[in-house]
Structure 1
Amino acid sequence: MRQTPSLAAQRTPVSVLGLGAMGRQLARCLLAAGHPTTVWNRTPAKADALIAQGALRARTVADAVAASPLVIVCVLDCEAVHQILGPDGAALSGKALVNLTSDTPERNRQTARWAAEHGIAYLSGAMLVPPTLLGRPEATILYSGSHRAHTEHEITLKGLGGRAPYLGADAGTATAYEVALLSLYYAGLAGMVHAFALAGGEGIPAEDLTPHLDAILGHFPSVAASMARDIDTGQYSGDADVLAIHTSGLAHIIKASQGHGINTDVLRAVKGLVDRAIAAGYGDAEFASVIEKMRE
């Protein structure tokens, strides 16, 4: 029978490097969970509020690294990670380094190779959550890289986000999930803002449109599941719909938007993609077939 970890095991000392909006909230979550928390930032004043809440201030990166077996870094990008930790790579040997910095999958793989050269158990994390939701059971942070680091510190990591799945040994995998999902997020935000702009052009307040968004968004999970199956098999049956019908719908939206002076760059890009797929012979296939033109 699996034994419940001791309270002491659940309160591993942690050092947090980088105190932007995310880093500060990470440190707050660790403090709230009872972890001895050491913090460092290039601008020391950003740590003042955390020090008042019980965190320990590290004067240098070396001091922060020495203070804890688990080091979490959350800065601008992987280049900043190397600038901060590069001189102290040897001091991290034998420790776990969790990188919650957003970047590309390949940049994370490069950082993982650097970590391996220094004997560091490197774990890449992708935070699919805004700072305000960190620490909640429903918050999701994806991890990949060192299985040992994830296993040894899983309790601590779940204190930052209750959903903390391990996706495999490739340190770039978590970031690959992140950039893929964020591409959906940002495209979705742009589409939503355009919807509000178009409604506003017709005199419809954004708040009046909002209750009806579910008529469209509610179908997304089932559409995504079907689309994913077809994309993975490369078979775009067109049983549910066909690509050709979408080009006229897009044209109508573009024309209506132009009538109100609303920018149509995003919609024109979508229509151009659809038109190229139709020209390539996918007119009777479903919308997912546009991926073949994206991949070009």
Structure 2
Amino acid sequence: MPAHNSAPVSVPASGPAPVPVTVLGLGSMGSALAAAFVAAGHPTTVWNRTSAKAAPLVELGAAHAPSAAAAVAASPLVVACLTRYEDARAVLEPAVAELAGRTLVTLNSGSPQGAREMADWAAAAGAAFLDGAVKNVPQAVGAPETQLLYAGDRAVFDGYEPVLRVLGGDTVHLGEEIDLAALYEMAVGATLLPALVGFFHGAALLTGRGRTAASMVPFSVKWLEMIASILPALADEIDRGDYDRPFASVGVFAAGMGDESRQAEEGGLDTGWLEPLQELIRRAVAEGRTEQSVSALTEVLRRPGPTG
């Protein structure tokens, strides 16, 4: 996929000099971003539809703009942290004239297609554009281990990297294809809800027996660390398309499905969330993958099953 061409824009040389920054959108994440910029000494202008949300940041030293257009005009670097790309465009439309020659960075949720459309919109407005994703909670913004992913023009990223890095020490440029941050956000984020629901399922089992969810945490952490330790090997199997020397086979998971369902039913739990996962296993078995690594489910996922 070709990279999107950003409009020509001047960017600062790398260095410690403060750079004025504007943050649009002051939800929990946007407020955390703005606070990190202020703490790092960058003159920070903020704007939000609900102006009261700017008050704590003004107390920290940020300037509150009366409109989105005034906020954009205040800084060469504009960071939009709204819910989706559509929300960012809706806020920026009245400020489109002020965007020309500036750099726009989006840190929001949305699809790779949304990122591509946003890049086209920014280019038409005469702005350089980077798309990004924050891979942590608002409370972690500014920490050395906090990861942020970016995609877009490498020269623009390099020019502003010292400013953006104050948001998290693990700041990564994925490439010039503008939708890569959104793509990786979705690919990596796909782990979150199944993992959390699995934890909630286990917590429901334990609390149903009078145990606390907290008692499960040390064991869950160890389990997640084990999973993390085998991800490189599983990824290697997928990349090579070789599933014949498994850590754990599809058959092992298939054998445990009945006990898993029975235990959930005994505990009075809703087992509906398990059914799609177990159906993947059954499809893999039907394809003759019983002795293959469970990572072969990747191949099953490439061919969606019946929906009716």
Both structures adopt the same fold (TM-score exceeding 0.5): yes
The one of 160, 164, 182 aligned to 1:153: 160
Does 1:40 pair with 2:35?
no
Superposed displacement of residue 6, structure 1: 5.0
Which whole-Å CA distance do the structure 2 matches of 1:121 and 1:106 have between them?
18
CA contact (8 A) 1:30 1:37 kept: yes
Deviations 1:199-232 (A, max 9, x none): 2334433232222224422321232111111111
CA contact (8 A) 2:246 2:294 kept: no
Alignment-mate amino acid for residue 195 of structure 1: G
Does 1:287 pair with 2:284?
no
Highest relative contact order (Cα 8 Å, sep 6+), 1 or 2?
Answer: 2
SS at match of 2:287: helix
Which whole-Å CA distance do the structure 2 matches of 1:16 and 1:70 have between them?
9
Give 2:228's aligned residue: 221
The one of 255, 262, 270 aligned to 1:248: 255
CA contact (8 A) 2:45 2:62 kept: yes
The one of 17, 24, 32 aligned to 1:25: 32
Give 1:272's aligned residue: 279
Which whole-Å CA distance do the structure 1 matches of 2:141 and 2:246 have between them?
42
Superposed displacement of residue 94, structure 1: 1.4
Does 1:185 pair with 2:192?
yes
Superposed displacement of residue 103, structure 1: 0.8
CA contact (8 A) 1:16 1:37 kept: yes
Alignment-mate amino acid for residue 179 of structure 1: M
Give 1:136's aligned residue: 143
The one of 84, 90, 95 aligned to 1:83: 90
Superposed displacement of residue 174, structure 1: 0.7
Aligned residues: percent identity? 37
CA contact (8 A) 1:121 1:148 kept: no
The one of 127, 137, 154 aligned to 2:134: 127
Give 1:259's aligned residue: 266
The 3 A distance-change label for structure 1 pair 239 and 287 is: closer
Runs (5+) with no aligned partner, structure 1: none
Deviations 1:59-104 (A, max 9, x none): 1111111100000000011111111112333321211111001111
Which whole-Å CA distance do the structure 1 matches of 2:30 and 2:171 have between them?
17
Give 1:109's aligned residue: 116
Which whole-Å CA distance do the structure 1 matches of 2:172 and 2:53 have between them?
31
Give 2:7's aligned residue: none
The one of 176, 201, 211 aligned to 2:183: 176
Superposed displacement of residue 5, structure 1: 5.3
SS at match of 1:282: coil
CA contact (8 A) 2:85 2:110 kept: yes
Deviations 1:168-193 (A, max 9, x none): 11121011111111110111111111
Give 1:50's aligned residue: 57
Q: TM-score, structure 2 length as denominator?
A: 0.90
The one of 98, 102, 126 aligned to 1:95: 102
Alignment-mate amino acid for residue 253 of structure 2: H
Does 1:15 pair with 2:6?
no
Count of aligned positions: 291
Q: TM-score, structure 1 length as denominator?
A: 0.93
How large is the Cα RMSD of the aligned pairs?
Answer: 1.6
CA contact (8 A) 1:27 1:39 kept: yes
CA contact (8 A) 1:251 1:271 kept: no
CA contact (8 A) 2:68 2:94 kept: no
Which whole-Å CA distance do the structure 2 matches of 1:57 and 1:76 have between them?
20
Superposed displacement of residue 260, structure 1: 1.1
SS at match of 1:153: helix
